[in-house]
Structures are given as structure tokens and as C-alpha cells.
Amino acid sequence: MEVLYTKKALQLVLQDARSKGKKIGLVPTMGALHEGHASLVRRCVGENDVTVVSVFLNPTQFNDKRDLEKYPRTLEADCALLEACGATYVFAPSVEEMYPEPDTRVFSYPSVDDVMEGAFRPGHFNGVCQIVSKLFYAVEPDRAYFGEKDFQQIAVIRAMVKDLGIRVEIVSCPVIREESGLAMSSRNTLLTTEEKNTAAEISHTLFQSRDFAASHTLEETREFVTEQINRTSGLEVQYFSIVDGDTLQEITEWKDASFIVGCITVFCGATPIRLIDHIKYKG
Ligand code: PAF
């Protein structure tokens, strides 16, 4: 495994691989890697000849600068994990390398980017599109792998790829959970052991709500989830939206869509740490 820091160095090795007919897979990350990322990398390694993992803490997608400051940075441990997973190249550029000039491009994909995370984190998806498009241009991957935990992010990236006409297959990979059910996230390392135990109530409630939904209305299910989580000391729901899984628009009845997902964001602990998760009700 080789660690590369510039687009030029990366393009040189990839040009060579491409000229030999090799398939290139990309796993974009912001570092602080965990088992969820490892599952993406292993899948990418299994499906491509060359696996590039980018490790870049992208400043333009953080609408809250304190969130960026406290985001864990663990490049050395990340490289050890990536080597063990069989990655070919780690691309770890500096901010100047990725943004030699301020990126003024504006990406707008209503309806998928202006609800939920888009509404609560203004500018977040614009920053995601800025960096992911730059990575796609630099790597020109045949396939790119994203975790389904960021359910809305995948919808936004698919919309961007379609809009820009980029030739890449977007592969979405299932959420990996801790034994407690808590969805794996780099932000989990910012939780104390007690907060982590508390946070497990989010997935417990979502799983329970799938049974509850079978005999209750959508509105009752929405209330069940919100109230049960808010009753847990140390947790506060920011939003819980039950949406059409394709358009990401809120629906009011179970019959309104054939693919239905409940997306939640919860503040956990004293700091507090913002955690997201989702559950599929239908489809
Ligand atoms: O999901 C993430 O970690 C980031 O949003 C991504 C896709 C690597 C872009 O910075």
C-alpha cells in the first residue's frame, strides 16, 4: 500500500493501472476509520483491481466550525487499518491540494438536498458535492463506495453524478452496527462509555418501531419514536422524518410510497454529539 499526497502522484499511478485495463474503485472517507469503513474497503478490494481510499477531512462540508475542530484525526491508525483491508493507495491530500482556490461551485438538487440534513446543516451537501466531484475527477473511478448510514448523502451524490454526467457506478453498502445496535460512526469516539450505552437506545427504538408500524399509523409511529427517544435522559431528537426513500419527501400514510425510510438525527450527551441513523419500513 502506498500513501500519496498529491493529485499528480495519484494520477500517474492510476494512468498506468488504467492503461493495463485495471478497474479502479474509490472509497472516499474523512478518516477516523472504523469497521464500517473497513467493510466498504474490503468490498471495493473484492470488486476492483485497484482500491483508492481518500482520507480527507473536507472543511467545506462543515457548517459548524466547532464540529470540524473536534472531528477525530487518526491518519496513522487509518493507514494501518487500510493496509490490513488490502487497499492499494491511500490518497491523503492537504486542504491546499484539494482547494488551491476557494471552491465557488454551487450544487443544488431539490428535493433530495434541501430536506433533513440539508435543512438542518445548510451548505453541508454543497461541500460534499464539491469534494466528491473533485475526487471523482482526480481518480476517475469505475466504482465508488459509500455507507448507507448516510442515507441522504447517497441520494445527493447520485443526483450529482447524473447532473454532471460522471461515468461512475455508485455502490451503497449496508450500515455496520456495534454489538449494542449503535450505527458505527467516527463521531462515536467522541462519546463517553456511558453516552455510547445511552445512544444505543436510538437503534433499539428504530428496530422496535418496525414492529410498532405494522399495527399503527405513520403519524403514531413518528410519535412513538420521537417520544421514546426524548424520554431517555441524554438524548434529544433533532428530527425524525418518515420519507419516500427515493424522493426523500415526507409522507403521511404508509400507502404513500413503496420504499419508506425513517431518518433520524439525535443529540447525545453533554457536548452534545450529533448522531444519525435510519430504518427501512418498506421496500
Ligand atoms: O461520508 C463522508 O465521510 C464524507 O461526507 C465524504 C463522502 C467522504 C466526503 O467528504
> Which pLDDT band, with edges at 50, 70 and 90, does 79 fall under?
very high
* CB-count exposure of residue 242 (10 Å: 0-12, 13-18, 19+): buried
* CB-count exposure of residue 29 (10 Å: 0-12, 13-18, 19+): buried
Place of cell 494512468: 15
Q: Is 126 in the pocket of ligand 1 (CB under 6 A)?
A: no
Q: At what angle do helices 75-85 and 35-47 cross, to 10 degrees?
A: 40
Instruction: Tell me the pLDDT of the chain averaged across its residues.
Output: 97
Q: What is the pLDDT of residue 156?
A: 98
| Region 204-209 average pLDDT | 98
From atom 7 of ligand 1, which residue's Cα is the shortest distance away? 28
Question: Ligand 1 centroid vs 220 CA: distance in angstroms?
Answer: 34
In angstroms, the CA 99 to CA 133 distance is 12
In angstroms, the CA 50 to CA 139 distance is 11
Q: Give the containing element (helix H, strand E) for 81.
A: helix 75-85
Question: Ligand 1 centroid vs 233 CA: distance in angstroms?
Answer: 30
Cβ–Cβ < 8 Å for 14, 52: yes
Q: Is 93 in the pocket of ligand 1 (CB under 6 A)?
A: no
Give every strand in the sheet of 169-173, ordered side by side: 2-4, 89-91, 50-55, 24-29, 143-147, 169-173
pLDDT tens, residue by residue, 114-155: 999 999 999 999 999 999 999 999 999 999 999 999 999 999
In angstroms, the CA 6 to CA 111 distance is 35
In angstroms, the CA 104 to CA 128 distance is 13
Q: What is the pLDDT of residue 148?
A: 97
Question: Residue 5 is which amino acid?
Answer: Y
Q: What is the pLDDT of residue 259?
A: 98
In angstroms, the CA 29 to CA 91 distance is 10
Q: At what angle do helices 124-139 and 7-19 cross, to 10 degrees?
A: 50
Q: What is the pLDDT of residue 39?
A: 98
> Which pLDDT band, with edges at 50, 70 and 90, does 20 fall under?
very high
The domains found in the chain, sorted by start residue, are: 2-173 (3.40.50.620), 186-282 (3.30.1300.10)
Q: What is the pLDDT of residue 207?
A: 98
Q: What percent of the chain has pLDDT over 70?
A: 100
Cβ–Cβ < 8 Å for 94, 87: no
Question: Ligand 1 centroid vs 159 CA: distance in angstroms?
Answer: 16
Whether 37 is a known active-site residue: answer yes
